[in-house]
Amino acid sequence: MFVLEVVAIIAAVVVPAYFLVGRALERTIAWRYLYVVTAGRGARNGIVLSGIVMLIGAGLLAFSGGENAYGVLLLVAGMIAASVFFLLAVFSVFTTVSVLGVMLGVCALTIVLSVTTGFQKEFRDKVLGVNAHVIIEKSEMTFADYRDVMKVARGVDPDVLGVQPFILAPMLVTRGQGVSSGVALKGVDPALVNSVLDLDKHMVPGAGTVASLAQPLGPHDEPPIILGKALAAKLKAKVGDDVTVVVPLSNIDFDTLTAKSGAPTSRKFKVTGIFDVGFDEYDRALMYTSLKASQDLLGRGDQVLGVELKVKDVNRAAEIGHKLEVLLGPPFTVQDWYDLNHNLFTALDIQQLVLVVILTLIIIVAAVNMVSALTMMVTDKTREIAILKSMGATSGNIGRTFQILGLAIGGVGTGFGLAIGLVICYVVAGYGYHLDPKVYLIDRLPIEVQPLKIGLVAGLTMVISLGATWAPARTAQALTPIEGLRYD
């Protein structure tokens, strides 16, 4: 995808430059064919009314801090209407229709790319906020030599910023009548956790800190625990409350399939913090406690599930993970953050690619309209083409004139489409469109505008616009002065 973006940006610059630099005659004729000398009163009035609608929308947004839905609708509608009337004031109706097709396609593609890129970035940030970049696990049942593994991990690469052992186990958690199943308890080292995870950044203000996991305990004190915001709400728990964590099936002897004791192992914990990642998958199903407390609860002694690392550049996580796997060898396995969430990020990549292909078809349909408009223009300008050729203009001059016409239509449509799309992205990002976290996993519509993606849109549009000029340009080149002046 990155290579395609770079090629598209180069095309967006090189293609227009090739046809415009040093083509004064062709540019002059093309502008003469495009430009309407006088604008109608209706177009002028439409521009004024559209401007008023835009101002009203902008005013509503300004007074509401960007959170007025009517302001968003009025501003967007005003921009589109103003663009339509402005184009009608400058170009012919046929040319305006072609430009509008390109403009709407580019606008839609810009918005969709920004939204899908926003989802990718948001998910990555949320995933990396409470998860490490690289995880080392052992295929054997016991992992007591984790300190030696941590030493190897620290020295594997200068980009390794932090290393810590962890335990992750499925649990049940209860408080009063509230019971939550399908949750996970993660045991972390309080002294090392901030060097590996960004959990402190996601703590709810006034609801404790990660440092509370390191508080000293008396012989009868409950160990500290940090809950996700959605999980705390489900349990109706707040900082200072007690919750009971139950190890499921801990009373079952799986060799004989009989109960070893009357009830599964459980222990009370005191809630010392609440975090809000904004990712519902974690906020309703994840708890943190100290490594020692989780080891005592599971009763497995000084053992861990794995060792996790934080690296300076997340894009090098796979490379560093491969180095570790080579150094450690079996029975250790190493996974990076992308491998751990492969299905999620692959689905997002495929979704973005499919949407780009579908919306590019809109631009291609607009290019078909452009072919029709240019073909009609060739027919309408047959006599003028004949006169130009009889005065010394070459077939190449005529062909390039219509190629410049197509590029101008595509360029104007691209410019208006990008401008409207970027403004919509900015306004919607400020508005903060609400999403259902149970469906979309996050609670706000994410918008992420990347210059490379914008360059991709512009490049694709200019290449498609140039391709649309091929047939009309060939038709214009083939005209002879005799055909054009036959009836004069």
Question: With 80 as the cut, is the pLDDT of residue 259 above it?
Answer: no
Contact 404, 19 (CB under 8 A): yes
Name residue, tokens 């500290």: 224
Distance CA 298, CA 39 (A): 80
Q: What is the mean pLDDT of residues 168-185?
A: 81
- Decide if pLDDT at 255 tops 50: no
Higher pLDDT, 236 or 258: 236
- pLDDT of 166 reads 92
Reply yes or no on whether the pLDDT at 1 is more than 60: no
Report pLDDT for 474.
85
Query: In the numeric block, which tokens belong to residue 243?
Result: 């919750």
Cβ contact 276:229 at 8 Å = yes
Q: Which sign does the torsion angle of CA 62, 67, 68, 72 carry? A: positive
pTM of the model: 0.74
Q: What percent of the chain has pLDDT over 90?
A: 7
Residue 179 DSSP code: E
**Separation CA 135–CA 123 (nearest Å):** 18
Cα–Cα dist 404/399, whole Å: 9
pLDDT of residue 256: 47
Residue 261 has pLDDT above 70, yes or no: no
pLDDT of 40-63, one tens digit each?
677 778 888 988 888 888 888 778
* Strands 178-188 and 286-290, bridge-based pairing: parallel
Please determine, for residue 127, whether its predicted confidence score (pLDDT) is greater than 80. no
For residue 14, the tally of other CB atoms under 10 A from its CB is 12
Confidence at residue 3, expressed as pLDDT on a 0 to 100 scale: 61
Q: Where are the domains of the chain?
A: 2-35+91-97+356-484, 140-329
Give the span between the Cα atoms of 472 and 375, in whole angstroms. Answer: 5
Q: What integer pLDDT is reported at residue 13 of this predicted model? A: 64
Interatomic CA distance for residues 142 and 167, integer angstroms: 12
Better-scored residue on pLDDT, 204 or 485: 204
488: its two tokens: 């004069």
Residue 57: the pLDDT is: 84
Between residues 187 and 386, which one has the greater pLDDT? Answer: 187
Query: 440 with 347: CB under 8 angstroms?
Result: no
Whole-number pLDDT of residue 225: 92
Per-residue pLDDT at 281 exceeds 60 = yes
**322-351, pLDDT tens digit by residue?**
899 888 888 888 888 888 777 777 877 888
Shortest CA distance to 199 belongs to which of 284, 132, 146? 132
Tell me the three state secondary structure of residue 128.
helix
pLDDT-above-70 percentage for the chain? 88
SS3 288: strand
Residue 441 has pLDDT above 50, yes or no: yes
pLDDT over 70 (residue 258) = no
Confidence class for position 254, pLDDT limits 50, 70, 90: very low
Tell whether the model's pLDDT for residue 369 goes beyond 70.
yes
Mean pLDDT of the chain: 81
The pLDDT of residue 438: 67
